[in-house]
Structure 1
Amino acid sequence: MVMSIDNVRGFALATSSSAFIGSSFVIKKIGLKKAGDAGVRAGSGGYSYLYEPLWWIGMTAMILGEVANFAAYAFAPAILVTPLGALSIIFSAVLAHFILKERLHMFGIVGCILCVVGSVGIVLHAPKEKKIDSVNEIWHLATQPGFIVYSCMAVVVALILIFWVVHRTEQRKMLAYIAICSLMGSLTVISVKAVAIALKLSFNGVNQFIYVPTWFFIVVVVICCLVQLNYLNKDWASQNATQIATELCGFVTIVAGTFLLHKTRDMGNEQSESSSLRGECELQNH
């Protein structure tokens, strides 16, 4: 299957985005550790990392990566761009191996392989994006009842996690951070897609910034990114790059394992039935 030129551009931008973001994880991790040694750790509510130059270098790399990712949404469908974000795990794991001298265990390696294979599969089968002539078209899709219900539920759950779980239960903080970032990330995708298309159309001479939906999507992007930035720093502060990569890859491993279990659930029964049939045939022959 041959990808369209826009899909190729989106693929290139998304891949470069993963490289920048993957390297930023390692650089920011070093900065967070140095800041933690000098003051209150981010995981404990401190913000001393804001005074650490290495953290800002890592943040710059992440910003460059997000800009590339943002641009990718303007050319390629979200189903192509979003999964390629998993490649940042691979870049991070490789850099952590050489720079931080950390090693992935076998499940982490398998998870990384699954990330690559899954991303390649999605890229090869990515559909050509429907032509969109206005941000108002995206607004129409985003205001469908199903998406509105999901958005409200995502915001409510995120607020419950922020104001109840995070501040009241120490043991569940890490999972709460991940859940908050995931919920906000799901809303960020559609908003980033809308803003990226607005910029693309505006550069082509069709100004989209005269429409209220465009500014609404911009506000959503800013809010969601700030929330994710805050809680990602708190989560990563207590873990090394190997643990982060292993956890993310582990999710892919679990999905793949579930699929395999589903597909092979009857194999044992089939083998038992075959053995029984062979036994009956042998008895009849005797």
Structure 2
Amino acid sequence: MLSLLLIFVAGPRYGQSNVLVYVLVCSAIGSLSVSCVKGLGIALKELFSGKPVLSEPLGWVLLVCLVICISIQINYLNKALDIFNTSVVTPVYYVLFTTAVMMCSAILFKEWQHMVLDNIIGTISGFLTIVSGIFLLHAFRDMPFSPNLLPLFLQQGRADLHASWMSTTHLGRPHSIF
């Protein structure tokens, strides 16, 4: 429902000026495609175990939904990339897609019910680390960087300074055990 509102209401109004509109469509539809793939994987596993899956309509419905979802997802991702810079679309899409897949899996497959607290904390921590890293990469991408910003011992051509510093401190002297 959210995807339909984004496609038919928000897309025509705000799609050209706000990167979130098209990327949210891609993420929401993409999470559905991941769920369709998971369902098809289960159907294939049952097919190889000898069950008559091909006569059931669910596998075919999942396949058709997957094709439709991927088509919509690629269409709106291309629209976003045509309008906005790739360095803006990619991190936003990655974070929103990952969030949507986690939410969709939690709702449809109830994966979080079978997880112990350690795994839940690890999953959330990993997700927040990825989101923070992508934010930092995007926030500081235009920051000028030069070798002069590095500490002295990491700067090339300044190895002599590092060696002389090490020889004048206690770290550079050999230790005696007696």
Query: What's the TM-score once normalised by structure 2's chain length?
Result: 0.52
Report matched runs for 1:25-44 at 5 Å: 25-39=34-48
Question: 1:97 aligned to 2:106?
Answer: yes
**Given residue 111 of structure 1, which amino acid in structure 2 is its aligned partner?**
G
Residue from 49, 66, 71 that aligns with 2:79: 71
Residue from 60, 79, 83 that aligns with 1:52: 60
Within 2, Cα distance between the matches of 1:60 and 1:102?
25
Report matched runs for 1:222-241 at 5 Å: none
Partner-residue secondary structure (3-state), 2:18: helix
Task: Sort the Cα spacing of 1:6 and 1:55 in 2 relative to 1 into closer, same or farther, 3 A.
Answer: closer
Residue ranges of structure 1 left out of the alignment (5+ in a row): 41-50, 128-286
**Given residue 126 of structure 2, which amino acid in structure 1 is its aligned partner?**
G
Report matched runs for 1:104-183 at 5 Å: 105=119, 106-120=121-135
Give CA-to-partner distance per residue, 1:70-92, whole Å, 9 cap, x none.
10011111101111232212111
**Given residue 33 of structure 1, which amino acid in structure 2 is its aligned partner?**
I
**CA shift for structure 1 position 123:** 6.3
Task: Sort the Cα spacing of 1:74 and 1:28 in 2 relative to 1 into closer, same or farther, 3 A.
Answer: same
C-alpha contact 2:15 2:22 (8 A) present in aligned 1: no
C-alpha contact 1:35 1:52 (8 A) present in aligned 2: no
Within 2, Cα distance between the matches of 1:58 and 1:31?
9
Within 2, Cα distance between the matches of 1:12 and 1:120?
19
Residue from 10, 16, 19 that aligns with 2:19: 10
**Given residue 75 of structure 1, which amino acid in structure 2 is its aligned partner?**
I
Task: Sort the Cα spacing of 1:18 and 1:52 in 2 relative to 1 into closer, same or farther, 3 A.
Answer: same
Residue ranges of structure 2 left out of the alignment (5+ in a row): 1-13, 50-58, 143-178
Question: 1:23 aligned to 2:27?
Answer: no
Within 1, Cα distance between the matches of 2:139 and 2:20?
10
**Given residue 32 of structure 1, which amino acid in structure 2 is its aligned partner?**
G
**Given residue 92 of structure 1, which amino acid in structure 2 is its aligned partner?**
V
**Given residue 82 of structure 1, which amino acid in structure 2 is its aligned partner?**
T
Task: Sort the Cα spacing of 1:124 and 1:96 in 2 relative to 1 into closer, same or farther, 3 A.
Answer: same
Within 2, Cα distance between the matches of 1:19 and 1:25?
10
Taking only the aligned residue pairs, the percentage that are identical comes to: 14
Computed over aligned residues only, the root mean square deviation of the Cα atoms, in angstroms, reads 3.0
Q: Which has the larger radius of gyration?
A: 2
